[in-house]
Amino acid sequence: MSSTSLAFSGSTFGKLVKRHKVGNGGKSPPQNVKFRSVKAELSTEKVRIAILGASGYTGAELTRLLVNHPFADIALMTADRKAGQSFGSVFPHLDAQDLPNLVAIADADFSNVDAVFCCLPHGTTQDIIKGLPEHLKIIDLSADFRLQDTAVYKEAYGQDHRAPELQKTAEYGLTEIKREAIRKARLVANPGCYPTSIQLPLIPLFKAGLLELKNIIIDAKSGVSGAGRSPKEPLLYAELREGIYSYGITNHRHVYEIEQGLSEVLNSNVTVSFTPHLMPMSRGMQSTIYVEMVPGVNVDDVYNTLKSSYTDEYFVKLLKKGDVPHTNHVSGSNYCKMNVFPDRIPGRAIIVSVIDNLVKGASGQALQNFNVMFGFPETTGLLYQPLFP
């Protein structure tokens, strides 16, 4: 770890030793948000970070967040196709930052690194991660370690899992739901963007037994950055502008992840109807979820359960009754905003959940998980408020 004017003590890398003030006029977040207690001392060390696959959108967004994290030092950045270039030349909006030049993974030196964020494409991550030194803590933003059953992984991604033993050690990183397991993990599988926006509202409701397991319909829409930075014909401006593009109909890869999370809560197989769409916008995601309530349950019960589940969570916001979540109201932030509405069909409800697909849906949640793993307050480096207009 690199030296700074603060010092760690206790825990794996020690407890944070300077009280962080977050939001609410400088007040600390509620204690039941489960942030670790911290106390002032004179000196500490930063956690040295490697970002693998730094030339993609999630790598750039992660860098944007980390450069303002007071206890993180970006020590290594890889991008095989951009090796030898400065990060600022690849992403000029961050050229004012003092960052290491990009190197190929084969040339990466992990001896001076404490934690790794892996932003590599799906299918390539397994071989890389299983070869990393044992002392490293890892947050993987690809899908390679999200699915617990390697047979399901093969069905979803069309290839055998090449690190099945390592898969058994991975913890799924839906922070608000899996916080305690993440705290103890060496390898965290960061959730996908669609599954994040969908599971955050649904899991508490299934835990409370408010919803039927049948007739779950999810209509989800994402900004184009969710498809990555590599050139693709369907993503050309002339192809996508002024239109909506549905894709992965009936078999999108994220449906396996969504069903895994819901089935785990209920200890029973859950099947959902999920259709994603690309929208002509750079970032943002909305999931509109149609559910059937169990007999005797009404929309107020659903609303109150979400309210009690997330009252003390900084990044998950249930709006006032009747207010509609907008993607523009979470852009650039780590928030998930949601609300529930009565359907015209008796006994059914409509849930609307919005996130920024690059932040809460990827790099922001990855940083939130990093904070949990290293004992930092979860909001550290993540207090950016939404950009509007």
In the block, which residue shows the tokens 């979803």? 156
In the block, which residue shows the tokens 């508490």? 204
Residue 130, burial from CB neighbour count under 10 angstroms (0-12, 13-18, 19+)? middle
User: What is the residue-wise DSSP string for 106-156?
Assistant: GG---TT-SEEEE-PPTTTHHHHHHTS-TT-EEEE-SSTTT-S-HHHHHHH
Residue 18, burial from CB neighbour count under 10 angstroms (0-12, 13-18, 19+)? middle
DSSP letter at 318? E
- Set 118, 119, 193, 336: catalytic member: 193
List the beta bridge partners of residue 71.
Answer: none
CB 338 within 8 A of CB 352: yes
Q: What are phi and psi of 72, to 5 degrees?
A: -130, 140
The span from the CA of 315 to the CA of 308, in Å, is 14
List the structure tokens of 338. Answer: 């949601």
In the block, which residue shows the tokens 């669609």? 194
Q: What number of other Cβ atoms are within 10 A of residue 344's Cβ?
A: 6
List the beta bridge partners of residue 220.
Answer: 276, 287
Active site residue 118: no
List the structure tokens of 91. Answer: 């992403």
137-140 and 72-78 as β-strands: parallel, antiparallel, unpaired? Answer: unpaired
Nearest CA to 258 among 246, 277, 274?
A: 274
Nearest CA to 167 among 130, 118, 114?
A: 130
Nearest CA to 347 among 298, 282, 313, 303?
A: 298
Nearest CA to 46 among 22, 26, 64, 66?
A: 66
The angle subtended at Cα 380 by Cα 125 and Cα 63, nearest 5°, is 45
List the structure tokens of 48. Answer: 């040295």
Active site residues: 193
